[in-house]
Amino acid sequence: MKMKLFIVTLSLLMLFPGTSYAVPYDQYTSTGKDTFFSLAQRAGVSVSDLRAINPLIDPRNIWKGLMINLPNGHKPMTGLIPASEVSRKTYTVQRDDTFWKISNKFGISLSYLITANPKVKHPDRIFPGWILNIPTAPSSVPLTANWETKADYLIAVAKDQFDFPYVWGGTTPWVGLDCSGLTQYVFNKLGIKIPRTSNWQFQSGTPVTKDQLRKGDLVFFKEHGCPFITHVGIYIGNDQMINADTGPKNGVQIEYIFGDDYYGACYAGARRYIN
């Protein structure tokens, strides 16, 4: 979404046809004074490696709040979000594994595990080395749960979609989603129906002021001077949101809101759907 009139869909890393996996990296939050050269020196990595894992970042335009992937093996630094907090859970298939054995291993239903791996066309035939997605969120939450439990569940469902690519018009979880496709999907898991597009999602729900934001609220943006809503994310607290976006990488990721020069400037408001 940050790349005006430029939609990029990076191919998923493939190990075998039908399987995919995420390559997690720690993420550094830019102060707005960083360059790839200065950051590489501080982190003890090469500029070329830094560029390679941040293909959508323009080195000439690194703003405050931008989250930048750091190559594995970097030096300890402040301002980092660990890879474990920004990547979905996966499992490498071992010899004699079956979907049934793996579902029991992780305490999830067989059907849920199969649903989370739609690229595996024949679940009865999996092979060592394949990387499978492992859902961490429960398959559902009680309708009688309080708002905080529902918000935590909503966020957990969204985190299971980390790293899947941004797809314009995408509504398929575990494959590719756009920003409002992600929010519609996670709310649907709660049994809450919301409109399809970000602009229409902004027209519904309960308005929430900036100082009253709480986790689970939807946050909206008017990018590039547009008079209407162009982007939506899920507020998770600590000035952060989960959203499907094309920067600083392509896909579902965590980004800052008011601490980010880009999103802070185009913030348009919030709506609450969880009471």
CATH of the domain at 71: 3.10.350.10
- Single pTM value for the model: 0.89
The total of structural domains in the chain comes to 3
**The pair of three-digit structure tokens given for residue 157, joined into one six-digit string:** 């469902």
pLDDT of residue 2: 60
Give residue for tokens 């093996």.
73
Q: What is the 3-state secondary structure (H, E, C) of the chain?
A: CCCCCCCCCCCCCECCCCCECCCCCEEEECCCCCCHHHHHHHHCCCHHHHHHCCCCCCCCCCCCCCEEEECCCCCCCCCEECHHHCCCCEEECCCCCCHHHHHHHHCCCHHHHHHCCCCCCCCCCCCCCCEEECCCCCCCCCCCCCHHHHHHHHHHHHHCCECCCECCCCEECCCEECHHHHHHHHHHHCCCCCCCCHHHHHHCCEEECHHHCCCCCEEEECHHHCCCCCEEEEEEECCEEEEEECCCCCEEEEEECCCCHHHHHHEEEEEECCC
Same domain, 170 and 252: yes
Considering the domain boundaries, does residue 140 fall inside one? no
pLDDT of residue 22: 57
Same domain, 81 and 97: no
Give the model confidence (pLDDT) of 171-198 as tens digits: 999 999 999 999 999 999 999 999 999 9
| Alpha carbon distance 6, 158 (integer Å) | 24
Contact assessment for residue 3 and residue 56, using Cβ atoms and an 8 Å cutoff = yes
Same domain, 214 and 244: yes
Give residue for tokens 């999103």.
263
**The pair of three-digit structure tokens given for residue 220, joined into one six-digit string:** 């909206």
Considering the domain boundaries, does residue 18 fall inside one? no
Give the model confidence (pLDDT) of 247-268 as tens digits: 777 899 999 999 999 999 999 9
Same domain, 77 and 96: no
Considering the domain boundaries, does residue 197 fall inside one? yes
Considering the domain boundaries, does residue 42 fall inside one? yes
Same domain, 74 and 117: no
Domain boundary among 65, 85, 105: 85
Considering the domain boundaries, does residue 15 fall inside one? no
Same domain, 178 and 259: yes
Parent domain of 263: 147-272
Considering the domain boundaries, does residue 2 fall inside one? no
pLDDT tens, residue order, the chain (275 aa): 665 333 332 333 333 333 444 568 999 999 999 999 999 999 999 999 999 999 999 999 999 999 999 999 999 998 899 999 999 999 999 999 999 999 999 999 999 999 999 999 999 999 999 999 999 999 999 989 999 999 999 999 999 999 899 999 999 999 999 999 999 999 999 999 999 999 999 999 999 999 999 999 999 999 999 999 999 999 999 999 999 998 777 899 999 999 999 999 999 999 999 98
